[in-house]
Structure formats: structure tokens, C-alpha cells
């Protein structure tokens, strides 16, 4: 329980800080980065962002099965962003958490 509380507090501070990159990036920017092909900086930003949010939200809102890969996590987020363009104006960290928690929810 303490780990969950600390994680939620850390995420709230990260997303609440007006100077943090996580607070500034929208779903539009993340979608743009994630839709790039090849080995570009934008693709690296997409993967890094998804992994970062996943690490913070793991075991709090997202409970992934054993063996899930980074490519799979990023694919889930890419699919969610593509299928929900009406939400792209929202905070990217929120959208990543929403996408992953829908696929890998934690038991109550």
C-alpha cells in the first residue's frame, strides 16, 4: 500500500509540475512521435515516454502479465491513440496510463 501511495504521489508531482516535459506533452505530440517509422529520435521518444509512464504506473494502475515486451506496450499505446483521436489534446501520460490500464488492469 505504501508503494502505491508513493508512486501515485510521484506521478501527481511529475504531472503537476508546469516545468516538466511530462506535463507539457500532449497526446497529439506523442501520437506524432509514435507514428514515425524506422529508427528516428521521435520513435525513441515514443518508446521512452511509454516505458517511463509504464514504470511509474506499474502495479498501481497497470498490472502487466509476465513476458510482455516494450514493443507490445508501445503497440498498445499506438493503437489506442490511433483509435481515439478525440482524446489527443489530453495529457500524454494520462493517455498512456488509460491505454495500458484498459488492457492490463490491476485486480481490485
**DSSP character for 18?**
T
Q: Given this model, what pLDDT does residue 98 score?
A: 94
Q: Each residue of 75-95: pLDDT tens digit?
A: 999 999 999 999 999 999 999
Residue 90: inside a domain: yes
How many domains does the chain contain in total?
Answer: 1
- pTM here is 0.75
Q: Kindly indicate the confidence band of residue 5, based on its pLDDT and cuts at 50, 70 and 90.
A: very low
- Residue 15: give its domain's CATH number: 1.10.890.40
Q: Is residue 43 part of a domain?
A: yes
Is position 108 within any domain?
no
* Per-residue model confidence as pLDDT tens digits over 10-45: 445 444 444 455 557 899 999 999 998 888 898 899
Q: How far is 32 from 35, CA to CA, in rounded Å?
A: 5
* Residue-number span of the structural domain to which 28 is assigned: 2-103
Q: For the residues of 52-93, what is the DSSP string, one character each?
A: HHHHHHBTTTB-PPTT--HHHHHHHHHHHHHH-GGGTTSBHH
Residue 23 in domain? yes
Burial class (CB in 10 A: 0-12, 13-18, 19+), 29: middle
Gap between the Cα atoms of 16 and 13, Å rounded: 5
Nearest to 80 by CA among 24, 15, 11, 27: 27
pLDDT of residue 37: 82
Amino acid at each position: 500500500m505504501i508503494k502505491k501511495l508513493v508512486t501515485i504521489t510521484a506521478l501527481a508531482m511529475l504531472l503537476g509540475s508546469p516545468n516538466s516535459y511530462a506535463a507539457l506533452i500532449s497526446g497529439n505530440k506523442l501520437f506524432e512521435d509514435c507514428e514515425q517509422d524506422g529508427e528516428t529520435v521521435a520513435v525513441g521518444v515514443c518508446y521512452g515516454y511509454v516505458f517511463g509512464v509504464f514504470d511509474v504506473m506499474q502495479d498501481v494502475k497497470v498490472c502487466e502479465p509476465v513476458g510482455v515486451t516494450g514493443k507490445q506496450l508501445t503497440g498498445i499505446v499506438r493503437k489506442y491513440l490511433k483509435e481515439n483521436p478525440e482524446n489527443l489534446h489530453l495529457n500524454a501520460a494520462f493517455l498512456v496510463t488509460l491505454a495500458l490500464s484498459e488492457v492490463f488492469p490491476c485486480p481490485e
